[in-house]
Amino acid sequence: MVLQYIGNKEEQRAEYLQAAYDLINAEVVSAIDLFDRKNTSKEDIQYALNSANFVKENIIQPKKQSLLDSGYSSADPLMNNIDNKIQELDNRIEQATVELANFKEEILVVIEGEDPYENNTSMTVDRAGGYGAFTSRDFDSGKWTVAKYKVTIPKAGYYMPYYFIINYNDNAYINVGDENGRTFDNFYVPKTCEYWDWKTEKVQGSREYFEAGETYIGVCCTINGFMLDKIHLVYEEADDVLIGGNGDDMLVFE
């Protein structure tokens, strides 16, 4: 009877340990999954990190301590597995902490296509109000002028421009210059949609250096026409690859 009793008790103890391991394993898997899903912004990484630390301190560590208190030997293979799981989580916490420290603060400047500071072109604001509709009319008549956008650059350095454009023409040409009239982007805008079904596409331009403070960007269309929703200027580290604009054509600000 006594042996039977001990046998049951040992079985129960083994089951209890297995259940504790399963719980800890599930918590670690779920915390790591959160790290994998939330890794694209500083806020997201911080959220996953807080969550992992909370789970570790309030669920995993107390559970392990209660096992030790109940007399489970740390030499037990399952107890060993639990330690490995905790180590796995610690490593991921460490990795995320480094990621967080290195995470670049994204600086984003938004320029609305429909909102030029000064417009010397025949660009009009589309009926919906959200786009500047550019045509090559001015260029065709020999006047190469631009719609001038006022921009406040928060920090000196290289910025990557992204153009949010609707274009239902087979080829349309955009020309973008800085306040000194130097072109830093000029390219054929891809056809993004059909006339009856507008779709916006985000087109990457060329990296350009800007000083901090107020400046102007000039946009014009030299072939056909397109609609400009907005331009994003995304800050990149000043000491990354040093590639400037792609041309020195002059635009005339009038």
Binding site for Ca ion (CB under 5 A): 112, 130, 229-230
Q: Going by C-beta distance under 8 Å and a sequence separation of 6 or more, which residues neighbour residue 28?
A: 60, 85, 86, 88, 89
Q: Whole-number minimum distance, CB 52 to Ca ion, in Å?
A: 39
Q: Whole-number minimum distance, CB 148 to Ca ion, in Å?
A: 16
Closer residue to Ca ion in complex, CB, 82/172: 172
Number of C-beta neighbours around residue 222 at 10 A? 15
Closer residue to Ca ion in complex, CB, 21/163: 163
Closer residue to Ca ion in complex, CB, 164/168: 164
Q: Whole-number minimum distance, CB 165 to Ca ion, in Å?
A: 11
The answer to whether 118 and 148 have CB atoms below 8 angstroms apart is yes
Partner residues linked to 221 by β-bridges: 174
Closer residue to Ca ion in complex, CB, 96/231: 231
Taking CA atoms, 27 is separated from 45, 54, 58, 134, in Å, by: 18, 11, 11, 55
Nearest to 219 by CA among 131, 141, 159: 131
Closer residue to Ca ion in complex, CB, 112/179: 112
Query: How many residues are given for the chain?
Result: 254
Q: Whole-number minimum distance, CB 228 to Ca ion, in Å?
A: 8
Closer residue to Ca ion in complex, CB, 16/117: 117
Q: Whole-number minimum distance, CB 202 to Ca ion, in Å?
A: 13
Cα separation, 220 vs 140, in Å, equals: 12
Cα separation, 11 vs 7, in Å, equals: 6
Cα torsion angle, 95, 100, 101, 103, sign: positive
CA Rg, the chain, in Å?
30
Q: Whole-number minimum distance, CB 157 to Ca ion, in Å?
A: 25
Number of C-beta neighbours around residue 148 at 10 A? 22
